[in-house]
Amino acid sequence: MQRDFITLDVFTDRPFGGNPLAVVLDGRGLDGAAMQRIAAEFNLSETVFLLPPVDPANDATLRIFTPQLELPFAGHPNVGAAVACAMGGGPFGKAGTRQVLFEERIGLVRLDLDYDGALPRGAWLAAPAAPVVGKVVDAALAARAAGLPEAAIRCTGHPPQRVALGPEFVIAEVADGESFAAAGPQAGAFGTAATGRLDAILVLYRRDGAGLQVRVFAPLAGVAEDPATGSANLALGGFLAHLAPGADASLDLSVRQGAEMGRPSQLRVQATKRCGTVEPPRIHGHAVPVMEGRLRDPD
């Protein structure tokens, strides 16, 4: 059997920027092991597979794989898959649709499409839940994983902290642009917490006027650095709303990511805190189709 796929660059409005994604338009008949092998073959940050939904009121089940593991939720795979569906691709595509509902391991995920004329150009992704803010992390550990001196992280306004939204992240602010540009993932510093290594995805950010610059290192998922990371930025937006003074806060942030990799990416994050409780944040990004092809089933 042969299966159609499409690749899109996500969180960019032009080809060869943003974060590439492979969408297998019909994953029926593939088990998880086969999907993992296919994702390893594409060797992109993520590859996704569309399957029939359990509830026919929804559009599809979405399974998301890095080259090494399956994720319960991720941002750029959702935005890219939604645009692929709105292009009418595969048995689960609906050309011109304004909303897509995906069933995922984390739960039901909703995306609202926007268009340039008749062509889908991007989507708003609502997080299926609010991020869960966890424990503070030693700045020395986060700095070692980023290849930075401890002072580059310790002297900022808030220590690194765990935040979960599907995957678990350690979010750390970097003090200055020079340190931010010099950071790089140190694979040997990632591993199990019991061995004194960082056991989560590392998210570095710095404030850039009214917006943010972000870098994301995920060696444990087979991705040294990710050019654009929707779930990490959803978690970051919710975390910054959590830190905002007062019981109520509203953030609308422009985020730049991937420039250090030659894959400039742009996304928008909105997060709200009401009466001390952070609501599920949302992000917006564009997606551009790049390639189409046919995949042979693995033996």
* Rounded-to-integer distance, Cα 38 and Cα 26, Å: 13
* Residue 46 among the catalytic residues: yes
* Rounded-to-integer distance, Cα 282 and Cα 130, Å: 10
* Rounded-to-integer distance, Cα 230 and Cα 257, Å: 10
The whole-angstrom distance between residue 176's C-alpha and the CA centroid of its chain comes to 24
Return the sign of the alpha-carbon dihedral for residues 257, 259, 263, 267.
positive
Catalytic residue among 46, 103, 104, 173: 46
> Which 3 state secondary structure label does DSSP give 76?
helix
Q: Phi, psi at residue 271, to the nearest 5°?
A: -145, 145
* Rounded-to-integer distance, Cα 254 and Cα 236, Å: 12
What is the set of active-site residues? 46
